[in-house]
Amino acid sequence: MALFSSPEPHHLLVSFLVLLLSLLFCFIKLRSSKTVPTLPAEWPLVGMLPSVVANLHRFHDYTTSLLAAAGSSFVFRGPAMHFFVTCDTANVRHIFVSNFTNYPKGEEFAAIFDAMGNSFFNADGESWRRQRGRVQHLMSSPQLLAHMARCCRDKLENGLLPFLARMESLTSLDMQDLFTRFTFDMTAMSVFGVDPGLLTADMPPVIVPDAMEAVMDVGFIRNMVPSSCWKLMKCLKIGPERKLTAAQSELHRFVREMMKKWRDGPAHMDMDKEQDKKKVQIVSSYIHDPEYTDDHGKPNAFLYATLINYMFAGRDTVGTTLTWLFYNLIKHPHVVSSIRRELAPIAMHKATTTSGNHMMIFEPEETEPLVYLHAALFESMRLYPPGPIERKTVMTDDILPSGHKVQKGETILISLYSMGRMEGVWGKDCTEYRPERWVKEDGKLLYVPSYKFLAFNAGPRSCLGKHISVVHMKSVVAAMVWNLDFEMVGGYVVEPKSSVVLKMKNGLWAKILKRRIE
Residues tagged in the binding site annotation for heme: 463
Q: Please state, in angstroms and rounded to a whole number, the distance separating the CA atoms of residues 88 and 402.
A: 8
Q: Is 134 exposed, middle or buried (0-12, 13-18, 19+ CB in 10 A)?
A: middle
Q: Angle of helix 142-155 relative to helix 175-192, nearest 10 degrees?
A: 140
Instruction: Provide the sign of the torsion angle of the four alpha carbons 407, 413, 418, 419, taken in this order.
Output: positive
The distance from CA 35 to its chain's CA centroid, rounded to whole angstroms, is: 34
In sequence order, what are the residues at sequence separation of 6 or more whose Cβ sits closer than 8 angstroms to the Cβ of residue 170?
511
Helix H, strand E, coil C: the string for 18-74 is: HHHHHHHHHHHHHHHCCCCCCCCCCECCCECHHHHHHCHHHHHHHHHHHHHHHCCEE
Task: Give the DSSP letter of residue 122.
Answer: T
Give me the helices (H) in 371-461, please. Answer: 371-383, 416-419, 423-426
CB atoms within 10 A of CB 321: 25
The CA angle 383-386-388, to the nearest 5 degrees, is 70
What is the β-pairing status of strands 81-86 and 411-415? parallel
Comparing C-alpha atoms, which of 425, 206, 173, 204 is closest to residue 315? 206
404 strand-pairing partners:
none
CA atoms within 13 A on the CB side of 12: 16
How far apart, in whole angstroms, are the C-alpha atoms of residue 429 and residue 423?
A: 7
Binding-site residues, please? 463
Which of 179, 175, 315, 176 lies closest to 254, judged by CA? 315
Q: State the helix-helix crossing angle for 239-264 and 207-224, rounded to 10 degrees.
A: 140
Residues in the chain: 518
Give the whole-angstrom CA distance, residue 472 versus residue 465: 11
Burial class (CB in 10 A: 0-12, 13-18, 19+), 146: exposed
Contact 391/121 with Cβ under 8 angstroms?
Answer: no
Return the closest-CA partner of residue 193 out of 146, 262, 130, 141: 262
